[in-house]
Chains A and B, each alone.
Chain A
Amino acid sequence: MTKKLPPAAYIIIAMVLGIIVGYMIFSNFPDRKSASDIAGYISIMSDIFLRLIKMLIAPLVFSTLVVGIAHMGDAASVGRVFGKALGWFVTASLVSLVLGLILANLLQPGHNLGLPLPDIGASANLATSKFTLKDFVAHLVPKSFAEAMANNEILQIVVFSMFFGVALAALGEKGKLIVEGIDQLAHVMLKITGYVMKLAPLAVFAAMAATVAVNGLEILLKFAVFMGDFYLGLFILWGLLVLAGYMFLGPRVLKLLVLIKEAFMLSFATASSEAAYPKILDALDRFGVKRKISSFVMPMGYSFNLDGSMMYCTFATLFIAQAYNIPLTLGTQITMLLILMMTSKGMAGVPRASLVVIAATLNQFNIPEAGLLLILGVDTFLDMGRSATNAVGNSIATAVVAKWEGELLPENEAEAFAHSLDAALPAAVPA
């Protein structure tokens, strides 16, 4: 009997196949209409997958978080975890923004671009919807729990679940039945997640094939300098994140990287960090992070800890300024960074919200918004890198907070737990 391939191998195969099939479609149908028609049909697969994830995510966050907080005991420890998580998020955001700024200054991707620039007067009108801190803070609090669930407003669900969990903990014995019920709900949701994840390789294949069929690969060459510099930045950012993780977790951080590889590829191919959420939750379980930490820190991270998107904000803004030969003093750049630190907090895990934030920043500093039109054309490829980076950043952040709180199982116990998870699977799914 041959050994079964690990799930990650299927995803890698799907990704490579997707690129090959996509490129074949792109080059065999010279008129873009047929190519995008075919891509439209292929992407049905990935659309369905992303919809299933959306279907899962609200009840999954609610049930795991309520149980987690109810087990955490008191409001004080909830506050402490919240504070630590936020501390990490702010630091990571700052590092990401600064890294984007430094790289853009060092590499000067906007100079000698070799591409026709949009006229300085053109306007992409992207900034019509502004993300402001004030609106964001008010928006944190749901006016209806059903509405928050219906619209997949993760942060609002987090706020409600915090109340719910703390109240349940305060009730103690009286609320025990509900805690058990919700715990069972969490198990059901995780079970469904398991079913949905079976589709992951297909979704990855479809997403890759559709992207390449529509855009081709030549476009990567055209923007080679910009893309190369940005991905170099992402690599450095991954390195920094792993290094920071190493300082807290020691060599175990490498184990974490191995565990999240599927989640990483999934968010890369689908350009959605949300798609990886259930998978990362599972990976963190196996790593030994107690659910009460992961179910709390992860959904918050999806709003506050978008490292890849953050780096992109400074990088892209400076890129456009350079392309138009607009010099920005260091003072201006630092001001810009601090403003981005505030405004970007409203991006909340939405794939393309960083573009809106960048558009607003450009307007604020009188850099031609027209420059956005240039990079909009390759945004899909950049979004893939951003999303995957956000996934890495979030899993490391969660593991670190768990360690810090003393809620990380030692390595041998974590391994035993992971084995018990694997063992539970065939038992639960007969034959």
Chain B
Amino acid sequence: MITRSLAALALVWLALAPGQVLAQSDPATALTGVLKSARDSGFVTIGYRESSIPFSYLSAGKEPVGYSIEICRALVEAIGREVDRDLSLKFVPVTSETRIEAVVTGKIDLECGSTTSNIERQKVVSFSPTMFVSGTKLMVKVNSPVRSFRDLKDKTVVVTAGTTNEKAMHDLSEKFKLDIKLLVAPEHGQSFAEIVGGKAEAFALDDVLLYGLIAQNKAKNAFTVLGDFLSYDPYGIMFRKGDAPLAKVVAEAFHQLAEDGDLDRLYKRWFLQRLPGGDSIDLPMSPQLNTIFRSLALKPE
């Protein structure tokens, strides 16, 4: 009886086997998009920012470094494993204005900076899973009575001209009827000076930049950043829309990075430890990002 069932098993296997062989065609010919160009050329083009500290910026040695850059290095390694070839990185600088076009036209393969992933942009480009959650927060003096945005009624808040924070504060004031007086300064340094000089009760800016300013001005004992996000900007790595194989490699690589705890380590390295030739940003991981990393680590089977 045992031999009979073994024979039946062998028959079934023979019947199924050809299908399996066919499914595994030659990988080199099946590649498309960035995977194909990487396999053919041996490199992946990385778009970097010159001064998006600590995400993507030029080190003293004029080398692109940062949190996003290191994530991209891991992504390129994953692409290399997928196409079975050691890949090198080619760096191309991009700015806020040029970054999306550079991805769309194929000038760069991965944009590794500090780009907010939103639905508007997702119409033209694709985004990796969220690697950082930024957003508007308030900086106040340590002894300020303001402990939350609710305490801002009729108070003066300084913002930098043209930022999304300006709009966020405007909306907030309207939604909660706070009659906040907005003081608009042309540039972050000047906004900071306004709150130092006491002209404003609070300074509204992306939290990561606020922590940067505090570190830069060695003002840890004078100012504090309040906990609530008043707006949310999830950052991601940008790549060309419609490149499904690349999207798959990116999603799987993020899952792996999250599962192995590499994302946590990279975060610590760039947000909590001293930056090369500079101070530490000292920005602990937000509960939002922490939860996102935990969910990324789940198995997407």
Contact = CB atoms under 8 A, between A and B. Distances in A.
Contacts, number: 120
Contact of B117 (A32, A33, A36, A123): A123
Contacts of A373: 133, 229, 232, 234, 288
Contacts of A224: none
B85 to A, nearest CB: 26
A119 B284 contact: no
A176 B97 CA distance: 74
Interface residues on A, range: 35 or more
12 contacts: A33-B283, A116-B228, A116-B230, A123-B130, A129-B251, A215-B287, A216-B227, A346-B301, A352-B294, A356-B300, A376-B288, A377-B229
B233 A122 contact: yes
Interface string B210-253: 00000000001000100111111110100000000000000100
Contacts of A374: 232
A350 interface: yes
Interface of A: 30-33, 35-36, 114-116, 118-126, 128-131, 135-136, 139, 151, 214-216, 218-219, 222, 346, 350-353, 355-356, 370, 373-374, 376-380
Contact of B234 (A125, A151, A377, A380): A125
Contacts of A125: 117, 127-130, 234, 236
Given A118-B231, A214-B287, A123 B300 contact: no
Nearest to B281: A33
B291 interface: yes
Contact of B300 (A114, A130, A216): A130
A320 B135 CA distance: 19
B196 interface: no
B299 A350 contact: yes
Nearest to A352: B295
B300 A352 contact: no
Interface stretch (B6-14, B39-47, B118-126, B154-162): B118-126
Contacts of A115: 228
Interface string B268-301: 0000100000000011111110011011101111
A226 to B, nearest CB: 14
A116 B229 contact: yes
Given A116-B231, A125-B130, 6 more contacts: A120-B119, A123-B118, A129-B251, A352-B298, A377-B287, A380-B291
A165 B281 CA distance: 57
A151 B259 CA distance: 12
> Which interface class (under 10, 10 to 19, 20 to 34, 35 or more) fits B?
35 or more
B300 A31 contact: no
B172 interface: yes
B232 A33 contact: no
B245 to A, nearest CB: 15
A409 B130 CA distance: 52
A136 B294 CA distance: 20
Instruction: Tell me what chain B mostly uses at the interface: helix, strand, loop, or mixed.
Output: mixed
Nearest to A119: B231
A380 B287 contact: yes
A31 to B, nearest CB: 7
B116 interface: yes
Contacts of B233: 122
Interface in B120-148: 120, 122, 127-130, 133, 135
Given A123-B117, A126-B295, A135-B301, A36 B288 contact: no
A178 B232 CA distance: 58
A201 B130 CA distance: 35
Contacts of B133: 373
A30 B172 CA distance: 26
Contacts of A216: 227
B149 interface: yes
Nearest to B233: A122
Task: Kindly name the residue among B120, B135, B176, B295 whose own CB sees the greatest number of chain A CB atoms within 10 A.
Answer: B295
A409 to B, nearest CB: 38
B97 to A, nearest CB: 19
Given A123-B118, A126-B295, A128-B251, A31 B231 contact: no
Contacts of B229: 116, 118, 373, 377
A378 B287 CA distance: 7
A122 B236 contact: no
B99 interface: no
Given A124-B292, A214-B287, A31 B301 contact: no
Nearest to A216: B227
B255 A222 contact: no
Contacts of B285: 36
B127 A33 contact: no
A32 B271 CA distance: 13
Contact of A355 (B122, B129, B291, B300): B291
Contact of A356 (B135, B284, B295): B295
A31 B282 contact: yes
B120 to A, nearest CB: 5
A126 B118 contact: no
Contacts of B231: 116, 118-119
Given A31-B282, A222-B228, A352-B294, A119 B118 contact: yes
Contacts of A151: 299
A129 B298 contact: yes
Nearest to A354: B295
B236 to A, nearest CB: 6
Given A121-B118, A121-B119, A352-B298, A370 B287 contact: no
A123 B119 contact: yes
